[in-house]
Amino acid sequence: MDIFLDTANLEEIEQAVSWGVLDGVTTNPTLLPKEMERTGKGPREILEEICRIVDGPVSAEVVSTDAEGMFREGLELAEIHENIVVKIPMTPEGMRATKRLRQEGIAVNVTLIFSPSQALLAAKAGAAFVSPFVGRIDDVSGDGMELVSQIVQIFDNYGVEAEVLAASLRHPRHVVEAALVGADIATMPFSVLQKLFHHPLTDVGLEKFLADWEKAGRPEIRTPPSPSESR
């Protein structure tokens, strides 16, 4: 399963890339303004920088609600970098725009998916990615992961090529469950990615190894000198 960050924060993206664990990024109209405020940069500049930092798909969302507007915005966003994936909301107008963008060879991530039927329609319209929102379904007492599981099964049944991008993940358990049900990608906030590293037994184990090495007088691990060097 690929790991994406759901953020526009350039420092967070840089850090995740340095760990060697990041496959892509998703942004949205809530996340980009936060980074604009933090850095004073414009949305285009931020998206360009994200594409420079991460070598993988970077979702950028349209804000028009009519098909023509979404299509035009999509063309502009796609011009920023070849890795930009245009994020389009799951509406009939959105599917019209998806179909047209696909015809132009532009990858689309259909967002705000809350039912298997929406995912099926998005894939039919030509989406490269579909994004079920797990946490927001859990928030209203539903079962977000069950939705991801159903979409994975339906896509498997028919060999649908669109990738299932589990979104709105709120904690490490969500990430593990997304992997267990076969999501292709999990996108998560930086705080969730950080939590994935931690296990108390790792901390305890490391502390003990270091203490034991200290007790042994910190022996040197060095290649012994060759006979010619020691003469």
Q: What is the CA radius of gyration of the chain?
A: 22
The residue range among 75-83, 128-136, 173-181, 207-215 that interacts with ligand E4P, by the rule CB under 6 A, is: 128-136
Contact residue for ligand E4P among 9, 28, 98, 149 (CB under 6 A): 28
Question: Does 172 sit near ligand E4P (CB under 6 A)?
Answer: no
- 172, 196 in Cβ contact below 8 A? yes
State whether residue 156 is helix, strand or coil.
Answer: helix
Token digits of residue 122: 């998005």
What are the φ and ψ backbone dihedral angles of 89, each rounded to 5 degrees? -70, 155
Interface with ligand E4P includes 167 (CB under 6 A)?
Answer: yes
Sign of CA dihedral 94, 96, 97, 101: positive
Distance CA 148, CA 133 (A): 9
Which part of the chain contacts ligand E4P (CB under 6 A), choosing from 10-18, 74-82, 131-139, 145-153?
Answer: 131-139
Does 70 interact with ligand E4P (rule: CB under 6 A)? no
Cβ proximity to ligand E4P, 27 vs 149, nearer residue? 27
Where does the chain show beta strands of DSSP type E?
2-6, 24-26, 58-61, 84-89, 108-113, 129-132, 163-166, 185-188
Is 41 an annotated catalytic residue?
Answer: no
Asked if 6 is part of the footprint of ligand E4P (rule: CB under 6 A), the reply reads yes
Contacts with ligand E4P by CB under 6 A: the residue count is 11
Catalytic residue among 41, 87, 124, 215: 87
Spell out, one character per residue from 92 to 121, where the chain touches ligand E4P: x when CB under 6 A holds, - when not: -------------------x----------
Residue whose entry in the numeric block shows the structure tokens 């920023």: 80
Enzyme catalytic residues: 87
Residues that bind ligand E4P (CB under 6 A): 6, 26, 28, 111, 131, 133, 135-136, 167-168, 187
